[in-house]
Structures are given as structure tokens and as C-alpha cells.
Structure 1
Amino acid sequence: MNLHNTSYPVSSGPEELVPSRYALKIGEIDVLVVSDGVLPLPTKMLAHNADPAVRATWLHDMFLPQDAFDWALNAVMVRSGGKTILIDAGLGSDPNLNLPRAGQLIRRLAAAGIDLSAVTDLVLTHLHMDHIGGLLVEGVKQQLRKDLRIHVAAAEVKFWEKPDFSRTAMPEGFPDALRSTAKHFLKEYGSQLRLFDDEHEIAPGVIARRTGGHTPGHSVVRMASGDDALTFAGDAVFAVGFEQPDWFNGFEHDPEEAARVRIRLLRQLAETGEMLVATHLPFPSVGRVAADGDAFRWVPVFWDY
């Protein structure tokens, strides 16, 4: 595996005195993980089906607070076969939910010297607001290409026509915000959608695959070139999901299926040794998966800079 941290122009200012992008090579494919910031959320949402005492012990052992902590928000830029691909678009403007430290993606892409007009394709793992909201920031649509192709699973678009939140466990206000953001997105960008059923090649070596579970059309994106491969898992995997893969996340619309998807994906990655990046793993979230009995272990890569 050849990790290659590319140099990009940066803007000065104290607001950027945090790591917010990490570049690597997957064979001939360029990958840039970009932080959209963090989401402060209740810890119960990590595992609402777990015994509270067991959940408290896990948080204690991980040196995490018991009430709430910051979930990372990561997106990925990919260059392959002459295409520039953005995978997920971050939260965007704060949707009245007191999330001031998220929604940084557009600013950080600019700081990395990436012009939005250069993006030829956009892949959405699903239509939760923290994955599509960046597209709804004022002025962003005007910067994007008129022929931008937005790839998303057909089952995902169908779901948001009449979303079912009966199996989720979200804080007050989130279901309404998710519903309204998805509706707004589909109205703004519906004509640019390129729907797929189960699997779709976006560019050479870049394949989106529907997994379902988290949402009916949730998808992952695998990048493979030569002997190297990396999967962007979206919301299929959370930090707690390695040691406790059967714990239910509050945003999962089908928790049992989400657990099956998570276990299947982690088992595959443990067997192949391929790398993993996910939306809500601590930035830059690049690492591998090791099997640990019936559970798994996260093995982050050593930073190359």
C-alpha cells in the first residue's frame, strides 16, 4: 500500500489549525478524505438496544464522556479515469439543530484548492441530511457543473417519498429535519440523479454497491486499482461497531438488517485486509479491520506526511 499525502494550497487563519484532509493513493486512484467537522450527539444513539450499564462501561473504557460526544463527519474526493468524484456532501448549513461545528466541507474543499466546477460525479451513500446538506448551501448549486451526475440507489429515492422512522431512535427534531432536507434536495437535484439498483461503476475502479440496512438504499463505494483497495462505508460502520457490531445506532431505519450488513462488511474486510474509511469514524478514519473472535478490531493506519 502506497500512502501518499499530497500537498494542497491552504488558507491561513486559526479556524484551520486542525487536521481536515488526508490524501492517499489507491493504485492509480487519488483519494482525499475531507472532514466536514463533528456532530455532538447523545451517546445513547450509539447503542439504543444495549444495556445502559454495558454501554456506560464501553464508553468508560474508551475514555469517552457518558452523555454526549463528537461524531466525526467525513467525505471523500476521488480522481479516476479523468473523473473527479465527490462521495457525500456533508451537513451544510445548520438545520436549526445546534450543530455549529459541522458543515465545513465546502470551505475545506476550497482550502484544498478544489474547485466545485471540477466535480464531474457525485455519489451519495444515502440521503440523510449530513450527507446531502452541503449541496443545499446558498451558492453551491451555481458553482456545480450543469451536467453533474449524481449517483444514488433507486431504493433510497423511493424510500424518501414516504420515509418511515418507526424503528429509529433519534433526538427530537431530527426526523423532521431529515425529511425536509431530503425533500428539498430531491426538488433541487432530481433531474440530475443517475439511479442504480444494486451495483454501478462510476469511474474505472470506483464502484457503488447498495447494502441497505441503515436506510433501504444505503450504499458503500469501493475503490480498487492494482493490488490496492479501499471501501468508503458511509454509515454502515460506527466507532462502536467493531467490538459491538450488533448494537443498534439510532439513525438506522432497519436496525437488524444494518447489523447484518455491518458484520458482513467487516468480515469481508478482515479477510481481505483492504482498507476502510467511514463517515463517522474519527478523522481521517483510514484503517483496516481485524477479526477478534465473534467481533472485530479497528486498526488505524499510521499517518504518512
Structure 2
Amino acid sequence: MDLHNTSDPVASKPEELVPSRYAVQVGEIDVLVVSDGVLPLPTTMLAHNAAPADRATWLHDMFLPSDAFDWALNAVMVRSGGKTVLIDAGLGSDPNLNLPRAGQLIKRLEAAGIDLASVTDLVLTHMHMDHIGGLLVDGVKERLRKDLRIHVAAAEVKFWESPDFTRTNMPQGFPDALRSAAKRFVKEYGSQLRQFDEKHEVAPGVVVRRTGGHTPGHSVVRVASGGDALTFAGDAVFAVGFDQPDWHNGFEHDPEEAARVRIRLLRELAQTGEMLVATHLPFPSVGRVAVEGDAFRWVPVFWDY
């Protein structure tokens, strides 16, 4: 698997004239951030507990539209100790939700020269559709290894047996789509699930840890080698969460706990100075965290060419 930053503008199609993968070296571990596309969502999803005027001010200050904008969708590929680990699997395809610019992960892995059969392990930060759907696309399962190990928190699997959406604030159609995707995923891949309670080492230097909050089994993945480290935070951190970590995201099943998890994680990252990648931060999402009083600041890395 070649994780170098490469591009071929001559061969690119017009709709692909944007970056879609970015390589990072973490000690001896290769990391590749891959874009699954973008997900257009109402801006109320950013902070349904905030006053509309406060939310509008934040959007204005960030030069973002007031009604809806495109959320990034990022997944990560890691190579360590002879293992090739995919962290989250993207949205896949759900025609009922009309999201044509998302669900690009599989073709972008192919464009990066990554054979799906080379993936030995899959880590799920949680089982929302935009993290598992790529494996539900027709024809994908047949291209995966029969012995693929899928690592997920036991609390997450338990939650999706009877999920509670009473404290979320999602657009119409999303709860049903999320339920359906999770149920189908367990049906198709249940025998390959490797459930853990709190913490589990997937490959040398690649450790997944349950945080809860966003969903009961939500987890983050820390990659560490040779004094370097990078944490993939899944949906624990959103762009607005640096300035306003107490604002509730519409997809959070326990908003108060999600805010506590977010603040704790951001403080940890600010203290260690290690890199952060998250699902819905603008691609390639690689940055660090600075703390300023009760608020945080995202510091994007300078791209390494």
C-alpha cells in the first residue's frame, strides 16, 4: 500500500479535481486520511441548544452560510506491524437520503492504489450510517478478506439492538436510515465483530478507546510510534466544538455526556500536542489543539508536500 501524497491531474476527472487523500507519518506508522465526500446538513445540527442569534453569529464569523453547509466525511487508513487497518467505512449509498456527493470512500481507496482485500482490520468509532455504510455497498463484501476483523465497542453493538433517538435532533428520515443501516450491518458482519469493553490494541501502536457520549459505544483511535501520536476522534469533535464545546450536535444521543467527552479529549490533546483528525473537520482535518481559557483553538498543520 503506497501512502505517499500523489496526484495525477491529467488522469483526473473534473469532479475529482479536489484533494481526496493525505498521508501522514506517525513515527514508523503510515497513516492516510481519505475523504468520503461531503454531507450537506442544516446548520441547526451544529448546535440545537444554542440561541439562533448566537449560532448565526458563529456561522457569519466563520464565513459559512446560515442555512446549510457541507460537512466533511473523513476516514483513515493505518499500516502498522504488518496489519492494514481501516478506521470507519464511510457513508456508502442511501438513495432515499439523496446524498450524491458522499459515499466516495471505496472508489477513493481504489484511486490510492489500495486493494480492499489488503485490509486486515476495520475499527468502527461508532455505528452511525456514515461510518459503516461503505461496507454495505453492493459488491464490497465479496472483495473483503473472509477473516476481516471488525473492532467495535460492545456497548455500541448493544445500543443498536434498540437505539434511543429521543435526545437527538436529526433531519427527517435520518433516524430510520441509521436504524436500518446498523441492523443490516450486524446481520451481514456480525460473525466478524471483535467487541471490546473499554480499550483494545488493534495493531502495534494502534489503540481504540471507548469514550461514550455521542453514542454509548463511541470510541477514538490513538496511533503512536517513536514519540509521535495522532488521535482519530470520530464524532467527538466538530468544527464548532473548539469555540463552543458545550453546544450540542444533532446526532448526539447523550448531548451532555458528549460535551464532557469533547472537553476532556480536547484538553488531553492540547496538553500532549499530538495531532488530531476527526470525521467532520474540513479535509484533511490534520491539526493540533490549543487551549485558551475555557475555549479551544484548532491549529491546522502545514501541508507536507
Alignment check: 8 A CA contact 1:9 1:112 kept: no
Distance 1:221 1:297 in 2: 21
Residue of structure 1 equivalent to 2:228: 228
Alignment of 1:71-90 (within 5 A): 71-90=71-90
Distance 2:250 2:5 in 1: 38
Distance 1:140 1:168 in 2: 31
Residue of structure 1 equivalent to 2:59: 59
Offset at 1:15?
Answer: 2.4
Residue of structure 2 equivalent to 1:98: 98
TM-score relative to the length of structure 1:
0.97
Residue of structure 1 equivalent to 2:259: 259
Alignment of 1:1-305 (within 5 A): 6-8=4-6, 12-305=12-305
Offset at 1:95?
Answer: 4.2
Distance 1:256 1:188 in 2: 33
Offset at 1:94?
Answer: 2.7
Alignment check: 8 A CA contact 2:3 2:30 kept: no
- CA shift digits 1:2-59 (9 cap, x unpaired): xx97145765322221100000100000000000000000000000000100000000
Distance 2:176 2:17 in 1: 34
Cα 1:288/1:188, change in 2 over 3 Å:
same
Alignment check: 8 A CA contact 2:48 2:248 kept: yes
Alignment check: 8 A CA contact 2:127 2:182 kept: yes
- CA shift digits 1:135-190 (9 cap, x unpaired): 00000000000000000000000000000000000011000000000001000000
Offset at 1:292?
Answer: 1.1
Alignment check: 8 A CA contact 2:31 2:76 kept: yes
- CA shift digits 1:52-100 (9 cap, x unpaired): 0000000000000000000000000000000000000000013411111
Equivalent AA in structure 2 for residue 275 of structure 1: M
Distance 1:202 1:15 in 2: 35
Distance 2:34 2:129 in 1: 17
The RMSD of aligned alpha carbons is: 1.2
Q: Which 4+ residue blocks in structure 1 deviate beyond 6 angstroms?
A: none
SS at 1:208 equivalent: strand
Q: Which runs of 5+ in 2 are unaligned?
A: none
SS at 1:201 equivalent: strand
Alignment check: 8 A CA contact 1:40 1:70 kept: yes
Equivalent AA in structure 1 for residue 127 of structure 2: L
Tell me how many residue pairs correspond in the alignment.
302
